[in-house]
Amino acid sequence: MNEVQYTPRELLACVAARLISDGESVFVGTGLPLVGALLAHKLHAPNMMAIYECGAVDPEPRVLPWSVSGSWTYHKAPVILSMTSVFGHSRAGYADVGFLGGAQIDMYGNINATCIGDYDHPKVRLTGSGGANDIASLCAKVIFMGLHLPERFPERCDYITTPGFLDGPGAREKAGLVGGGPWRVISHLGVMGFDEETCRMKLISYHPGVTPEVVQQFTGFELIIPDDVTETPKPTEEELRVLREEVDPNQLFVF
C-alpha cells in the first residue's frame, strides 16, 4: 500500500489540531493555528469554542477566513463582542488555549515580537505585541508555532514581548500572571513542552525525517531530551481528507 503523502505545513496543521480537546475555548490566530482549530472542530472537538481577537465567539465560517479579522469569522457567531470585551472574558477565565507566534522563543517560553537586538537601537523593529501579551498572561495553556532556527530559539529573547515562565520556576506567580503559561511549541522540526520542575523547554516528539540531534542542533540552548521521546505521528488519511476537502480546499495556508 502506498504511503500517504503530505506537506510539512499539513503535518503542522494536524499536530495543532491534535492538541485541542473537545469542550475547550481556543483563542485562535491567523494561519496554521486557525486551520488547526477548524480541523479539530471537524474531527474530534465538535464542542470546541473558537474565540477571535476581532470579537467573534464560536462562529461557523462557511469558508476558511483569511485572517482572524476576516468577515467569515462573524458568520453565525452567537456572540460578537469588542476586542476589549474578548480579552476581558479571558481575564475572567474563559480562554483555555491560546495560539501565538513570534520572532523568538527562549528556553523558558518567553516570546519576542518587538525587536531584534537592543531595544533602543534595534537591528530589526518588529510589529509588537498586539494581543499576544494578554493571551499569554491570561490563557490556561499557550501553544507557540514558528520556524525552528538557532536565532529564533535563543537562550534568552532580545526582548520579552510576551511572558512565558520569565526567568524560571515561580516567576509567573510572582509577577501576578493568572494563566498557566507556555504549554507546547510546534516547529517545523518537532513538538516541545516544558519541564514541570525547571520550566525549561523539553523535546516531546521529533517530526518524521528528523532526529533529536537535529532538533538540538537548530536550538540555541540545551534542550531537555527525555529518554522516551518519540517521532511525531504522521497525518492520517482522514485528517488529510478533511483538511484538504473541508478546511482549506484552496490551500490558503497549507500549500
- Which structural domain, as residue segments, surrounds residue 101? 8-247
Q: Is the pLDDT of residue 231 over 80?
A: yes
CATH of the domain at 46: 3.40.1080.10
pLDDT band at residue 221 under the 50/70/90 scheme: very high
pLDDT digits (tens, 9 = 90+) for 176-205: 998 899 999 999 999 999 999 999 999 999
Per the domain annotation, does 252 fall within a domain? no
Q: Is residue 3 part of a domain?
A: no
Q: Is residue 32 part of a domain?
A: yes
In a domain, 19, yes or no: yes
Is 253 part of any domain? no
Active site residues: 53
- Segment 242-252 shows an average pLDDT of 94
Q: In the predicted model, is pLDDT for residue 213 greater than 90?
A: yes
**Long-range contacts: 39-45, Cβ < 8 Å, 24+?**
39/13, 39/14, 39/239, 39/242, 39/243, 39/247, 40/16, 42/242, 42/246, 42/247, 43/17, 43/238, 43/239, 43/242, 44/17, 45/20, 45/21
pLDDT value at residue 2: 65
Asked whether residue 67 is domain-assigned, the answer is yes
Q: Is residue 230 part of a domain?
A: yes
Instruction: Domain count for the chain, please give it.
Output: 1
Which pLDDT band, with edges at 50, 70 and 90, does 53 fall under? confident
% of the chain with per-residue pLDDT over 70: 99
Q: Does residue 167 fall inside a structural domain?
A: yes
- pLDDT(54) > 80: yes
Indicate the pTM of the whole model: 0.95
More confident residue, 114 or 85: 114
